[in-house]
């Protein structure tokens, strides 16, 4: 990972903390502070790291090792929601017992250089949009996201994910379920389209996606262990199989792979403190 991209990752990781500090009501899910000021009360700062192996870019058959910081900040004593490694940064605007709606976003790494020889560079950017979560039972969550690309691409992407979760012991939780991703033509053009100039430079066949649709289907799962009261570790895997316009791209058929797998481990430590 390039150092500049690492810094952008680190900066993005601080966004939830900054937002929570500015608007702590979101972290408290509507509960009022018991102190004199909005910051009065018991707080926690959780820091850690995420280390994983993933494809060099979506559709690639080559893999790289990556890392990113994990940081969260909020008030303690608030009921903790189930979360998946697959979730993007989110802020709930409506938070009910079994239903949540809010805004979400994702940072996108650049694609260029040796990652895709002969193809146009795709700059770093992001996606912003909304999310919705629904808990039909106390052991299953259904989450959807819809986002619009910024800078990297101008398309629309969406995700639907279901996760069942079960506490094997008070300290160990297993979770997992299916995932479906879809995208618009502009997204497919950016990441999977091959024009005549790129075809000559890369040796890949010309490919023009003729619309949008499902981009991948897959499964994801994790085992999370509360090692101590303050330390949490996790082992996870996310598998996806490219579909439709993505799978038919010459980038995937002639140079890459439909099968995409990410596996990783993470560890965090929680610092507790009180503000008057």
Grouping H, G, I as helix, E, B as strand and the rest as coil, residue 22 is helix
Tell me the DSSP string of 180-244. Answer: EEEE-HHHHHHHH-B-HHHHHHH-PPPB---S-EEEEEEEEEEEEE--SSSEEEEEEEEEEEE-H
Token representation of residue 31: 């509960």
Low-confidence ranges of the chain (pLDDT < 50): 1-33
Phi, psi of 232 (to 5 degrees): -125, 130
Distances (CA, A) of 124 to 42, 51, 108, 153, 246: 37, 20, 5, 9, 20
CA distances from 45 to 21, 41, 42, 229 (A): 11, 13, 11, 14
221 touches 176 (CB < 8 A): yes
**pLDDT reported for residue 274:** 85
Which residues are CB-contacts of 196 (< 8 A; sequence separation ≥ 6)?
206
8 A C-beta contact, residue 251 and residue 116? yes
The rounded distance, in Å, linking the Cα atoms of 6 and 250 is 30
Distance CA 1, CA 64 (A): 9
Contacts of 49 (CB under 8 A, 6+ apart): 67, 68, 69, 70, 266, 267
- Residue-wise pLDDT for 157-215, tens only, equals 999 999 999 999 999 999 999 999 999 999 999 999 999 999 999 999 999 999 999 99
Contact between residue 90 and residue 103 where contact means Cβ atoms under 8 Å apart: yes
Query: Can you give the pLDDT at residue 114?
Result: 57
Residue 37 pLDDT: 67
- Residue 18's pLDDT is 37
**What is the Cα–Cα distance from 236 to 48, expressed in whole angstroms?**
15
DSSP-assigned letter for residue 254: I
SS3 category, 109 = coil
């Amino acid at each position: 990972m390039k150092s500049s991209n690492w810094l952008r990752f680190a900066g993005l990781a601080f966004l939830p903390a900054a937002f929570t500090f500015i608007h702590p009501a979101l972290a408290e899910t509507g509960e009022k502070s018991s102190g004199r000021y909005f910051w009065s009360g018991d707080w926690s700062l959780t820091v850690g790291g995420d280390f994983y192996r993933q494809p060099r870019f979506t559709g690639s058959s080559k893999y790289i090792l990556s890392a990113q910081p994990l940081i969260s900040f909020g008030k303690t004593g608030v009921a903790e929601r189930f979360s998946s490694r697959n979730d993007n940064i989110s802020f709930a605007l409506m938070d009910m017992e079994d239903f949540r709606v809010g805004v979400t976003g994702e940072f996108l790494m650049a694609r260029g250089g040796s990652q895709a020889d002969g193809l146009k560079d795709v700059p770093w950017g992001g996606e912003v949009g909304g999310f919705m979560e629904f808990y039909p039972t106390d052991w299953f969550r259904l989450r959807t996201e819809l986002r619009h690309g910024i800078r990297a691409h101008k398309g629309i992407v969406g995700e639907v994910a279901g996760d069942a979760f079960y506490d094997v012991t008070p300290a160990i939780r297993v979770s997992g379920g299916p995932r479906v991703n879809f995208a618009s033509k502009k997204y497919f053009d950016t990441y999977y389209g091959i024009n005549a100039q790129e075809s000559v430079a890369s040796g890949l066949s010309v490919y023009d996606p003729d619309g949008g649709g499902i981009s991948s289907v897959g499964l994801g799962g994790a085992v999370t262990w509360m090692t101590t009261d303050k330390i949490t570790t996790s082992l996870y895997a996310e598998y996806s199989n490219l579909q439709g316009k993505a799978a038919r791209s010459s980038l995937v058929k002639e140079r890459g792979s439909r099968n995409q797998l990410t596996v990783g481990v993470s560890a965090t430590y929680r610092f507790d403190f009180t503000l008057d």
